[in-house]
Structure 1
Amino acid sequence: MEAWAFRHGPEAVAGDKFGLGALLDTGVMLLGRRTWELFAKIWPGRADEFATKLNNMDKLVASRSLAHASGWQNSTVIDDDLVTAVRRRKARQDVIVTGSISVVHTLARHGLIDEYRLMVFPTVVGSGSRLFTGDTAPTDLRLSSIERKGAAALLWYRRDASVG
């Protein structure tokens, strides 16, 4: 979460802001190296209910430069290519990606994203990485939920398999 998001108050940025709930108990988190390094500095020192679930869950790290991921419990560097690793895991459990825009771009190019949970804030930043780029294949999405989170809104979109 970018620093500017915090000025909108705790409702939008605290705890389980993306409504992951039981997925934190059953899924695996997939992070790119930069996001993993940031999270590994923040989350291990916290002990609230959300942090405890996040710390205890399995985490996969997509990195070409990390040899190991010992800085945050239950973290493992993917030793296969990203797409193969995600396909293998997706057959057994939900794969959750938080941040990690380059990971999202790769998964989107290969049709491996079933759901987007987007937090929209009333702030125009004007720059930054785009979620959907020219490399993103056309994908039909269906809005499945809108939830107010303080000044922000959490939008859930699922891939619409009925179109096409």
Structure 2
Amino acid sequence: MRRAAFAVLGTAIGTSLLIGAKLGTSTADPGTQVALEEETGDAAGPTPEAKAPAGKKTSAPPAKKPAAKPPAGGLKDGTFAGAAANYDYGAIKVTITVSGGKITEADATYPDEDPTSIGINEDAIPKLRQQTLAATSASKVNTVSGASLTSAAYKASLQSALDKAKA
């Protein structure tokens, strides 16, 4: 009888944890903080400093488009660089391209000095990029399992880019 009670209790706890994870509860450590480095520059594109520094990996470069009038309630067309988000292993900087009020391209520079960080970032950044292309806000991008620090820094920089692109 006790085994049955524990089995039912375990199933209920497991189900509630799965539902909570599916609803997007953050897995990041609440004490983890990500610092953003603001920069000045043209909102229509990244400044020369926004290019990946030597020794930094970058995904595909975004196409530059001039800033245009935003669609009603959407994002302005153009290329927008988010502030660099510092985390334990370096900094991640997200650049987005918006066309027709939607994100059409996302690019990120990230640290490539630490072998562990390289492995995590090379797996997590493409997943985060894919979610970014389907999202309308950084809160819609889910944390990648095993890459909570990378995910938090990516989302902070992405939100900075989205703020610059808002109408």
Higher-Rg structure is 2
Per the TM superposition, whether the score is higher than 0.5 is no
Structure in which a larger fraction of residues adopt strand: 1
Q: Which bracket does the TM-score occupy, shorter chain normalised?
A: under 0.3
- TM-score, scaled relative to structure 1: 0.22
Q: TM-score, normalised by structure 2?
A: 0.21
Task: Name the structure where helix makes up a greater proportion of residues.
Answer: 2
